[in-house]
Amino acid sequence: MKLILSILLTGCCTLSYAQANMYKCKVGGSVVYSDQPCGDNAQKIRKDAAPEAAPASVTEHVCAQKISTYAKFDEPDHIVIESIKKGNSAAIEYMNGKVYAKTYYLKISERTASGAYTGTRSYTCHVSEDEQRILKVTGPY
């Protein structure tokens, strides 16, 4: 019984140690986020930060402004952003590595040329920590 308990305890300790860390660094004048320390100025950041409220105006958000560049729409000039909800931050695959990104969930309707709506579809938009650049968009689903 003690053997089983010690094996389980060792496994739990190993799993908690294996969790990924995220680091914020300044490299060449730019802020970079990585899962590895990237210099003497690396700051460890929390990856499990609680979601924050979405922007007051959904049309001002970078995901709303540039979603048609990253996702395919039949009528990109006729999309309606119904909602943007902020999710948890996550490490995502980006340019052959992992980077720390803020996540937003969008609900989008598209209007046809005749004015009919095609229905609401969901998209996930990952943005840079400063929320100025879209890193990845997935969807619709």
The structure tokens 């210099």 sit at 39
Cα separation of 81 and 121, whole Å?
Answer: 10
Q: Name the band, by pLDDT with cuts 50, 70 and 90, for residue 2.
A: low
Count H helices and E strands in the chain, helices first.
2, 8
Cα separation of 102 and 131, whole Å?
Answer: 8
* 53-86 pLDDT, tens digit each: 555 555 578 998 898 888 888 888 888 889 999 9
pLDDT at res. 84:
92
CA nearest neighbour of 100 among 24, 19, 18 = 24
CA nearest neighbour of 86 among 126, 54, 119, 44 = 54
Q: Report the percent of the chain where pLDDT is more than 70.
A: 76
Tell me if residue 10 falls in helix, strand or coil.
helix
